[in-house]
């Protein structure tokens, strides 16, 4: 019996180190990064819609007052919509018709934040569409067309070493990590971050995978952090606020703007998050866990 509805979780990712190896002929950048999945996730629900209406994305409240009050584009630029269009095209090439889709979206991950919120939604949409209308589509290849973080989000692994422009995903074994996340209420586009890096290209050491496996908390190094923090004061402020806690290593995730602290344990992360929320109610601050 064909499914009538598909509900998919869309977990966030965090970069525990990001090295930029240079610009590729296709215009993207060659990366070496360590990705971990977080216990913070959006939710995507798909069901067939009226043929007259076309695809439609409806956002439902998440119970997070800070995020629920922020506007979100749910039109053609949303990655849920783009993933539906891409899957329909690929399925049609294999003789499978995908009808208009009604998509419900619950956002718990900040967007424009370096946590792969949109990419996670796209991956969840592709998985859901493949369950509802199986067509043997190569989802990782399709996901790579939608965004560099989508292949990792599709892989469904707790941690991976990610290379290429994001399409190379090799699972690694890491212990869970306790984290404090700070999104300082400013979006940073990946195009801007990489453009700023190109003005002053810097190299950093490879992600410290072995140290993390051994239970140590090395300083994560992100080649984009310096260029972004120099041009986006809220990112510099978030990094400084986290470092002022003196509880562990601090870095920026991906192209920003979310910054994070590696705490010693969940209790320390919760306490630090409470302190920062009291200090900066204008920021989105959460304790999280990887794995």
Which residues are known catalytic residues? 13, 149
Using DSSP, state whether 161 is helix, strand or coil.
strand
| DSSP category for residue 234 | H
Contact between 110 and 152 (Cβ < 8 Å)? no
Q: Which two tokens stand for residue 119?
A: 């990419």
In three-state secondary structure terms, 247 is coil
CA angle 235, 241, 247 (to 5 degrees): 125
What is the distance between the alpha carbons of residues 6 and 168, in angstroms, rounded to a whole number? 27
Cβ contact 289:177 at 8 Å: yes
Q: Which helix (H) or strand (E) holds 38?
A: strand 29-48
105 with 121: CB under 8 angstroms? yes
């Amino acid at each position: 019996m064909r499914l009538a509805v598909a509900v998919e979780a869309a977990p966030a990712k965090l970069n525990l180190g990001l090295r930029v190896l240079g610009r590729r002929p296709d215009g993207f950048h060659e990366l070496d990064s360590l990705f971990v999945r977080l216990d913070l996730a959006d939710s995507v629900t798909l069901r067939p819609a009226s043929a007259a209406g076309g695809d439609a994305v409806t956002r439902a409240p998440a119970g997070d007052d800070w995020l629920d009050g922020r506007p979100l584009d749910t039109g053609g630029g949303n990655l849920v919509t783009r993933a539906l269009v891409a899957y329909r095209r690929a399925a049609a090439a294999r003789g499978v018709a995908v009808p208009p889709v009604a998509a419900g979206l619950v956002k718990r991950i900040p967007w424009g934040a370096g946590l792969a919120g949109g990419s996670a939604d796209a991956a969840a949409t592709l998985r859901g569409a493949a369950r509802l209308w199986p067509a043997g589509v190569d989802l990782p290849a399709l996901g790579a067309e939608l965004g560099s973080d989508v292949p990792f989000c599709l892989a469904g692994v707790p941690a991976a070493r990610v290379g290429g422009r994001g399409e190379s995903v090799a699972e690694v074994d890491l212990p869970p990590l306790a984290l404090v996340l700070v999104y300082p209420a400013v979006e940073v586009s990946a195009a801007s971050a990489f453009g700023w890096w190109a003005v002053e290209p810097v190299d950093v050491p490879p992600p410290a995978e072995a140290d993390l496996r051994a239970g140590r908390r090395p300083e994560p190094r992100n080649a984009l952090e310096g260029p972004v923090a120099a041009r986006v004061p809220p990112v510099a402020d978030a990094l400084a606020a986290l470092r002022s806690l003196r509880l562990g290593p601090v870095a920026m995730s991906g192209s920003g703007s979310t910054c994070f602290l590696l705490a010693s344990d969940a209790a320390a992360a919760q306490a630090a998050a409470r302190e920062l929320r009291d200090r900066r109610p204008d920021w989105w601050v959460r304790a999280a866990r990887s794995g």
